[in-house]
Structure 1
Amino acid sequence: MTPGGGRRTAAVIALVAPLLAVAATLETTVRHFGTFLSFVFAVVVVTAATWYAVTRRGVLRWAAVLVAVLGALMMVTLGLSLFLTQAAMLVVFALAGRYALGPHSAAMITGGHPAQPVPAARHGVLLINPRSGDGAAARAGLADAAAARGIKVVTLGPGDDLAALAEEAVEQGADVLGMAGGDGSQALIAATAVRHGIAYVCVPAGTRNHFALDLGLDRTDVAGALDAFTDGVERRVDLGTVNGRIFVNNASLGVYAEVVRSKGYRKAKIRAWGRLLPDLLGPTATPSNLEFDSPEGPPISAVTLVLVSNNPYDLSRVGRAGGRPRLDTGRLGIVAARGARPVGEFVAKKFEVRSTAEVPAGLDGEALLLTPPLVFRSLPGALRVRVPRTSGPGRRPVALTRRDLNALIRVASGVPAV
């Protein structure tokens, strides 16, 4: 459909906004060059001080914190007006661009597996972890809401085996299996659903619910996700595996995995990070023995972080940075870093990490110890996931990417975006 005058005007505004942001930066640099140099110096100081604060202990750590705070105040003082201008232009770009692309912003995220209407579940079963999300299921009245829809509820009790409960539900005839809990629990139930060829429902009753968000669910409406059992549509999405273990979000090796598996992490996460980072990233840290092949050069070794995601994350979005625009590309996203320096970023169907010892890993936030080599694979379209008919990816935030800019240029010219 040819875009109307309002959308064309919005596209022009969206395209002009980043140009104005660049012009403001150039104007500040030329007219206030000394201020600009001072701002750059403050950025360098804050970056270095922050690194020292997280990798050192004792007096040096607190001195670095003080320097970082003073540097940040200097940055605000020197660059407040420019920052506000840049922020305003990005907001204008995001809002105008989203309106200009209209329904096409949703079409560009749904990918190659469109949602299909499905009948209501004949024997839907919902497993609930009452401890997830600090009791999110209880606050939402989830068990009663599920019973009102004719969904059987199985509540996980102390000492219960979630996998065994899921298998039992399938043996008793479940044709749609749902999970209300965190991403680690979601991965386990998704794996059960795939193994038995039945549909799966994600109910966002965990702490962060990243998988639910990337599926297009409203994380603030926990009970509303139950409509997937009774009035839903079904899509095919990918899963990731490492040595046969399924994950829905990501697998992390290195620093994050070491912290997650540490004693006391669940009760005091910030304290655990502060306690362990000096040993893992500081000057006395033992070099990592992780190694993998890079598609663009020689093997990469001695990395401190490897993140393998089920479909690549997109860090360029003006809005929710770090989300996955699609869950059906059939590709893994791989990001690696050595200290604070990125050393690799690419996508692959299969990825292998070598090591001379067992490797701590965090799979969707759950701590594991894996035997090398670690072989990661994408399972394209493996999971039949049901979401409420009224949900979906929706209009995603517009990004300063070639794809979105080309789409905006097309709309501004009076041509459909896609």
Structure 2
Amino acid sequence: MESKSWGAVVAPVAGAVALSRVYTGVHYPSDVLVGAALGVGAAFAVRGLVPTRGQLPPAGRPHTRAPRLPAGKGLVVVVNRSSGPGNGPLGGLGGLASAAADDATAPLRDALPQARIVECAPGDVASALEEAAAGGCRALGVLGGDGTVNLAASTAVRHGLPLAVFPGGTLNHFAYDLGLETVRDTCRAVASGEAVRVDLGRFAPGPDGAREGHFVNTFSLGVYPEMVRIRERWSPRVGGWPAGVLAALRTLRGRHPLEAEIAGRRRPLWLLFAGNGSYQRLGPTPGRRHDLADGLLDVRVVHGGRLPGVRLLAAALSGPVSRSPFHAAGRLRSLRLSGLAPGTLLAYDGEIAQAPSDLTVDKLSEALVVYRPSMTAPPL
């Protein structure tokens, strides 16, 4: 149901196993038929409870036009060579990150041979994007994770350029929510000039004394920035996913006290989350945005107190988190925070920085033009 190619491989094997059970006399034919019915029913039940991305419409509106670049002429794509699955537990053995980047750029080079591709290390991504945008390109492209996309989105808005996002990171939340599952999806949009306008989240003051910072996915205070910091410390040793599990276990055990003044009232917080657009449930937890231009922040707060992480986990296991008394949620156009203690960390699109004592979180409505193919456009 999810992959025709894998289905073509697995279905004959499953059928052979079913026939062998009857042939060897281990089971009656009715046993095999009932077992097959249970398996198929379980698959449909899971799809009903936890709809996959393929069942949901891609998030993007309103539609707009961007420069049509059939062979990629005028497009500059900045590639973060450290993004993607190469950053796993074997990332330091054999240059898997570079191999992953090469695999991702191969279809890009084939479909858009006249595009200029700039490959660089993580520390050089910002300068490469700025140089490309200032160099007179017609569209700015980026291949990397959400942190890299964040830099590209800010640069594209600042220079008034459309952005081509090529999925090349570990998670690719922004690209997937737009319906960009593969590099070829973006190539098809660039060739046809199909695009959508999306909101860009903003917080001010920004990191490192900047006037403002931006986020394409999420902004958060409290436990999540701490979890990101722990994950980054351990991921070079054990890999991204194991480091994420370790970080989650560490943060769930602690209290991580945080206090902030919200709407004139000082509150103890364990986590404050603001999403760029309203997140919809994908199973028991928020997982996907249906509209990236709704003008709203999806704000969720987990109150502080005794063992807040354990309480939140228990609430998630027992049903939707939104029903928990320790959790509050709302859709806002802006959020004002003040009274943050020195040294408080904030996170935006997986990056962490020192938070100012006072800040405002809001959105730049429909500020970013992103290439996204029409659902009726023919494949390349």
| Contact 1:141-1:223 at 8 Å conserved across structures | no
For the pair 1:230 / 2:208, whether they are aligned, the reply is no
Task: Tell me the CA shift for residue 114 of structure 1.
Answer: 2.4
The answer for the alignment partner of 1:373 in structure 2 is 358
Partner Cα distance (2:118, 2:49) in 1:
46
| Contact 1:118-1:234 at 8 Å conserved across structures | no
Determine which of 311, 332, 336 is the counterpart of 1:348.
332
User: Residues 62-95 of structure 1: CA distance to partner in whole angstroms, max 9, x if unpaired?
Assistant: xxxxxxxxxxxxxxxxxxxxxx989855646899
The answer for the alignment partner of 1:329 in structure 2 is 294
User: Residues 333-390 of structure 1: CA distance to partner in whole angstroms, max 9, x if unpaired?
Assistant: 1111131344310011111222122321221111211212121111100001112345
| Contact 1:142-1:223 at 8 Å conserved across structures | no
Determine which of 171, 178, 181 is the counterpart of 1:208.
171
Determine which of 253, 273, 279 is the counterpart of 1:307.
273
| Contact 2:273-2:299 at 8 Å conserved across structures | yes
Superposition CA RMSD, Å = 3.4
| Contact 1:166-1:189 at 8 Å conserved across structures | yes
Taking a change above 3 Å as real, the CA distance of residues 272 and 215 of structure 1, as seen in their structure-2 partners, is: closer
The answer for the alignment partner of 2:316 in structure 1 is none
Task: Tell me the CA shift for residue 162 of structure 1.
Answer: 1.4
Partner Cα distance (1:365, 1:391) in 2:
33
The answer for the alignment partner of 1:384 in structure 2 is 369
Taking structure 2 as the reference length, the TM-score comes to 0.67
User: Residues 107-129 of structure 1: CA distance to partner in whole angstroms, max 9, x if unpaired?
Assistant: 9x544x12447522651100011
Q: How many residues of Structure 1 are paired with residues of Structure 2 in the alignment? A: 292
The answer for the alignment partner of 1:24 in structure 2 is none
Give unmatched runs, 5+ long, in structure 1. Answer: 1-83, 100-104, 393-418
Taking a change above 3 Å as real, the CA distance of residues 124 and 146 of structure 1, as seen in their structure-2 partners, is: farther
Partner Cα distance (1:303, 1:319) in 2:
22
Aligned amino acid, residue 226 of structure 1: C
The answer for the alignment partner of 2:118 in structure 1 is 154
Task: Tell me the CA shift for residue 323 of structure 1.
Answer: 0.5
For the pair 1:132 / 2:117, whether they are aligned, the reply is no
- SS class of match (2:140): strand
Partner Cα distance (1:364, 1:275) in 2:
17
The answer for the alignment partner of 1:245 in structure 2 is 213
Partner Cα distance (2:256, 2:105) in 1:
48
| Contact 2:67-2:139 at 8 Å conserved across structures | no
Q: What percent of counterpart residues are identical?
A: 28
Aligned amino acid, residue 68 of structure 2: P
| Contact 2:174-2:217 at 8 Å conserved across structures | yes
Partner Cα distance (2:133, 2:357) in 1:
33
The answer for the alignment partner of 2:155 in structure 1 is 192
| Contact 1:90-1:318 at 8 Å conserved across structures | no
| Contact 1:145-1:223 at 8 Å conserved across structures | no
Q: Looking at secondary structure, tell me which structure has more strand per residue.
A: 2
The answer for the alignment partner of 1:119 in structure 2 is 68
Determine which of 229, 236, 255 is the counterpart of 2:223.
255
Partner Cα distance (1:197, 1:312) in 2:
25
| Contact 1:187-1:248 at 8 Å conserved across structures | yes
Task: Tell me the CA shift for residue 193 of structure 1.
Answer: 0.6
Task: Tell me the CA shift for residue 171 of structure 1.
Answer: 2.2
Taking a change above 3 Å as real, the CA distance of residues 228 and 289 of structure 1, as seen in their structure-2 partners, is: same
Aligned amino acid, residue 302 of structure 2: A
Aligned amino acid, residue 232 of structure 1: G
Aligned amino acid, residue 346 of structure 2: A
